[in-house]
Amino acid sequence: MNYIAHIIPESGIEQSVFAHLKGTAEKASKFAEVFGAEKAGYFCGMLHDIGKYSEIFQRRIRGSSEHADHLSAGVLEAAKLGNIPAAFCIAGHHGGLPDGGNKKTADPYDSTLCGKMKRIVGTHIEDYNAFKTELSIPESDIPNTFLTDKQSTFFFIRMLYSCLVDGDFLDTEEFMSGGAVERSSGDSIPVLLEKLNRFISPWWDAETELNEKRCDILRKLIDSANADKGLFTLTVPTGGGKTVSSMAFALNHALCRGLNRVIYVIPYTSIIEQTQSVFEDIFGKENVIAHYANVDYATDENGEIIDKRYLAAENWDAPIILTTNVQFFESLYSNRPSRCRKLHNIANSVIIFDEAQMLPLPCLKPCISAISQLVKHYGCSAVLCTATQPALNRLFEETLPQYKARELCPDVPGMYDFFRRVSYVKLGKLANSELAQRLMEENQVLCIVNSRKQAQHLFSLLDENGSYHLSTTMYPAHRRQILSEIRERLKSGENCRVVSTSLVEAGVDLDFPAVYRALAGLDSMIQAGGRCNREGKRNPKESIVYLFESEDRAPEIINQNISAAEHVMRKYKDIASPEAVKAYFDFLYYTLRGESELDNKQILKEIENSNMPFKTISEKFRIIENSDFTAYIPLGEGAKLVKTLEEFGATRKLIRKLGQYSVGVRPQHFNELVQMGAAEKLSENTVVLRDLSMYSKKTGLSLHVNSGQAFIIENERRDANVC
């Protein structure tokens, strides 16, 4: 018999089981080689589909409607050899990594690996021994360094799983497309570094004291790049040029230490847009991937029909990746193949955590644990980059005691003194009407509040001419356009009043003469100050950041941040000093919250006390609850991209482009958009907006569907604290 793994329905062209196993194994081995587990990767690849050698599967792929379990065979063979990590990977390569379960109490029909093993042993499995005529089972070898403790084993299985599913996806895609697989390998690290050096070469002849200081920081980072891999901090004051400087360190460090790529992790999507633009200008679009939205698909364990959208899931195969805290950390704790296939490409990378103070507090310990695993076992260097360095040393000492964080910025206190640009003035409580009146009296002013509701209300009280509202209800390309208009007005001296939530506080280069900020966490208020007198062209005493108590109640999730800020403001006259910042984070993390609240879902305890709870952890770990829902907006180029999606299906290249025309939505809003006929469902978590009257050029996607109130995801600190 000619044993077939896949058939292209349109042409009838067949791929043999052996060819698919061999192709997958070679890819998985190459991916796992980066962290020293190439034999384990090859083993998984060769065994994952050996159940397709059964006669019942061969009848099914040729048109029979019979049920065909092709996963159990590989699981059984791996378990026979004691390779439980491989058994997990094979069991989950279609539907997701299962929980381990309990050997004694597992039901044969539950979804755990133990349940599956009881089911396999207790029932008849179709004879798959024909595989022995074409292949022999390879060595089963796993380096012991990954199996020393539960956290390390849990993480290793997920990284091995990533190698298998990406290898499986790519080999299937190669066959289904006749070998025409989209690849985004991009330029090499030396070529990228050459492009960066050309970009920064004019900077070295600095004509101002400000630019000289920026060059001092840049030079120190380049000189530090030959350091051993590990954990770094970069505490650069606002205006110090940390985006390009951190990339200069990353590329030089990658060249010195043989690292493969740079992953730039950003708190929320609004910051990606500016950083993406900067990096594309330097390196070219072909070298930069900004990962906005998910294409999240899974098949059942017997699903041999491959959906092109499933194959389009992101795998981070470019040299420079921009992504969010949500995408990065939720993927590291997910069990789904479409979210996990990229994980192996994190290994041997430089990972820059921009605005590290915005790592989500209720998930902070699991996030620190994940960073520690990547540094300890997967050859990564991690850089915590911010103007307000959080007090994370205590947590890293628990999970990464052999690595001490090294500061990259020269003379942090001295740099802080030099880059002081503003004065902070506390106003007391302001009603919205009074606040609006004050804003109207300013020619150019930025006001940042704590809720979308207040931002919209306040915006409605302003004269329309010269007034702007910024929100993540706008798709990224739209926000870019609005920010461009704002910058032009600021540059020309025209009146420009902007009301925003905290999305403008970091990674958005705006320079206002005055800023109003509702009381929030100390780091938020200092970051807001970074949008005032950014270039230092005005006297700091005349560049005021007004801190006010809003008449609108602050979201409950930031009450502790406000309490910690008020505690520090009573003790320190200069709230932006390094001493005040350290006191703020110490008080917030370890006094107000306590370490138990830094893992409020008890993720790490669950891993320690359970048998590899992959599915359970995936369901529990959320930086933003129910964040995996996306609406595509068919406006501008987005209309053409959506049409291409509908006519020809998804590809990674297309999904990457569509990220610029996507808005993240809550499930309530997602469902209402569909039920009211305002949007058409493309998959379980994506829709296309059909009623374009619901999208405003001023405020983005409407919060209302008829009379139904729904909620847009605001990827900002307030929501990022929801775990």
Asked, for residue 610, whether it belongs to a domain, the answer is no
Same domain for 551 and 498: yes
Q: What share of the chain is helix, strand, coil (3-state, %, to 5)?
A: 50, 15, 35
| CATH classification of the domain holding 455 | 3.40.50.300
Q: What pLDDT is attached to residue 720?
A: 34
Asked, for residue 600, whether it belongs to a domain, the answer is no
Distances (CA, A) of 203 to 200, 308, 517: 5, 46, 33
Distances (CA, A) of 431 to 426, 435, 454, 461, 719: 15, 6, 11, 12, 24
- 381 by DSSP, 3-state: which? strand
Among 128, 126, 145, 590, residue whose Cα is nearest residue 397: 590
Asked, for residue 336, whether it belongs to a domain, the answer is yes
Same domain for 144 and 269: no
Asked, for residue 467, whether it belongs to a domain, the answer is yes
Provide the β-strand partners of residue 425: 546
Backbone angles phi, psi at 445, to 5 degrees: -160, 145
Residues in Cβ contact with 521 at an 8 Å cutoff, skipping those fewer than 6 apart: 558, 561, 562, 564, 565, 584, 588, 717
Q: What pLDDT is attached to residue 717?
A: 33
Q: What pLDDT is attached to residue 185?
A: 72
Same domain for 213 and 163: no
CB burial class (10 A; 0-12, 13-18, 19+) of residue 504?
Answer: buried
Residues in Cβ contact with 557 at an 8 Å cutoff, skipping those fewer than 6 apart: 718, 719, 721, 722
DSSP letter at 593 equals I
Task: Please tell me the distance from the alpha carbon of residue 27 to that of residue 298, in angstroms, as a whole number.
Answer: 21
DSSP letter at 559 equals H
Report DSSP letters for 211-277, one per residue.
HHHHHHHHHHHHHTTTSPSSEEEEE--TTS-HHHHHHHHHHHHHHHHT--EEEEEESSHHHHHHHHH
Asked, for residue 154, whether it belongs to a domain, the answer is yes
Tokens of 664: 């993240």
Q: What pLDDT is attached to residue 703?
A: 64
CB burial class (10 A; 0-12, 13-18, 19+) of residue 110?
Answer: middle
Work out the end-to-end distance of the chain between its first and last CA atoms, rounded to an integer number of angstroms.
52
- 44 by DSSP, 3-state: which? helix
Backbone angles phi, psi at 629, to 5 degrees: -125, 130
Task: Provide the CA 289 distance to its chain's centre, in angstroms.
Answer: 12
Asked, for residue 599, whether it belongs to a domain, the answer is no
Same domain for 426 and 412: no
Task: Please tell me the distance from the alpha carbon of residue 54 to that of residue 431, in angstroms, as a whole number.
Answer: 73
Kind plus residue range of the DSSP H or E element containing 456: helix 452-460
Backbone angles phi, psi at 293, to 5 degrees: -125, 160
Same domain for 17 and 142: yes
Task: Please tell me the distance from the alpha carbon of residue 189 to that of residue 320, in angstroms, as a whole number.
Answer: 10
At which of 176, 200, 219 does a domain end?
176
Same domain for 248 and 112: no
130-144 tens-digit pLDDT: 999 999 999 888 888
Q: What pLDDT is attached to residue 535?
A: 81
Q: What pLDDT is attached to residue 141?
A: 84
At which of 394, 416, 438 does a domain end?
416
Same domain for 217 and 343: yes
Distances (CA, A) of 64 to 55, 56, 60, 186: 11, 9, 4, 43
Same domain for 373 and 236: yes
Same domain for 395 and 285: yes
Q: What pLDDT is attached to residue 135?
A: 93
Q: What pLDDT is attached to residue 306?
A: 47
Same domain for 252 and 136: no
Task: Please tell me the distance from the alpha carbon of residue 424 to that of residue 573, in angstroms, as a whole number.
Answer: 10
Report DSSP letters for 492-531, one per residue.
HT--EEEEE-GGGSSS----BSEEEEES--HHHHHHHHTT
Same domain for 107 and 79: yes
Q: What pLDDT is attached to residue 10?
A: 81
Asked, for residue 133, whether it belongs to a domain, the answer is yes
Tokens of 605: 């305890």
At which of 383, 416, 449 does a domain end?
416
Q: What pLDDT is attached to residue 9?
A: 81
Asked, for residue 402, whether it belongs to a domain, the answer is yes
Task: Please tell me the distance from the alpha carbon of residue 307 to that of residue 298, in angstroms, as a whole number.
Answer: 9
- Find the domain containing 643 and state its range: 624-720
Cβ(306)–Cβ(176) under 8 Å? yes
DSSP letter at 300 equals -
- 399 by DSSP, 3-state: which? helix
Cβ(386)–Cβ(409) under 8 Å? no
Backbone angles phi, psi at 419, to 5 degrees: -90, 10
Name the domain count of the chain: 4
Same domain for 170 and 61: yes
Segments of the chain scoring below 50 in pLDDT: 295-298, 300-307, 309, 626, 706-723
- 443 by DSSP, 3-state: which? coil
